[in-house]
Amino acid sequence: MEYDHALRILLAAEYNCAPEDFERAENVITKSALREGRRRYGSTPYFFHMVTLGKNAILTADVRLHPYLQEFAAAKPGHRLFEVPKLFPLESELRRFGYTLSTTYHMFLPCAVVQPIGAWRTAWFFGEEIHPFYAGRRFPNALASSYTAERPDTIAVCAYQGDTIMGMAGCSEDAPHWQQIGVDVMPEYRAQGIGTYLVTLLKNRILQQGDIPFYGTSLSNYDSWNVALNAGFRPAWVEIGANRVMEP
């Protein structure tokens, strides 16, 4: 179960580079642009975004940052650019333009076929059937806050105890045929394997329909990491970006 080539094509669209750039020894800096096939996370090009698949790093940015980034990324292993001592000076440079670093996103791809372990009652929801769940925002990880046409929530699966929802896994189509999975388990039902069960069910359903499931979490969220690993995902890439905070 390999998706590395498809991943390079996806990220090349987002980072305005060529898929083979991820195989280069040196880091690559590009001008940020909106290209077809990218994940749809905004309507304007990134001011700064950086990704590594474990070898070099690709940095896409506004051209005003390029002189700084040329020095920042020169002659350094790509994965080392994500270390905190390297990020401090980058944060200072971004602040000059009214931006701040985002969190670091640790992303996962499928690596194994895993059968769900559990016997909870479940129900599936598709497309517009998901919309009633937006009320109250009880599932901030499984679903968006509201319907978003650019990257719609496409499938959700809930586990029940009686009529009570114990947890939900949902996915959004962030790029064509790329479905990002998120999961929420109610506090009183955690540590029972429900999250892994739901993510495994949803991952398998996405694979059956011919799409690619992927999963993301933060560096320190080891509960979420374990859900991903136990559901048959593997760490595949790391990203960090910049968010607007003020006028420069």
Res. 145: pLDDT tops 60:
yes
In CATH, what number is assigned to the domain containing residue 195? 3.40.630.30
Q: What is the side-by-side order of every strand in the sheet holding 48-52?
A: 28-31, 57-61, 48-52, 233-244, 99-110, 212-217, 178-185, 164-175, 153-161, 121-126
Res. 153: pLDDT tops 60:
yes
**pTM for this prediction:** 0.94
Res. 169: pLDDT tops 70:
yes
105 and 122 housed in the same domain: no
Q: What is the mean pLDDT of residues 138-159?
A: 96
- Check residue 163 and report its DSSP letter: T
Structural domain count, the chain: 2
> What integer pLDDT is reported at residue 1 of this predicted model?
61
Res. 246: pLDDT tops 80:
no
Cα–Cα distance between 27 and 77 in angstroms, integer? 8
140 and 82 housed in the same domain: no
Tell me which amino acid residue 154 is. Answer: T
Query: What range does the domain containing 32 cover?
Result: 4-109+239-244
The per-residue pLDDT for range 96-142, each reduced to its tens digit, is 999 999 999 999 999 988 999 988 999 999 999 999 999 989 999 99
Res. 248: pLDDT tops 50:
no
The per-residue pLDDT for range 182-239, each reduced to its tens digit, is 999 999 999 999 999 999 999 999 999 999 999 999 989 999 999 999 999 999 999 9
102 and 118 housed in the same domain: no
E strand segments, the chain? 28-31, 48-52, 57-61, 99-110, 121-126, 153-161, 164-175, 178-185, 212-217, 233-244
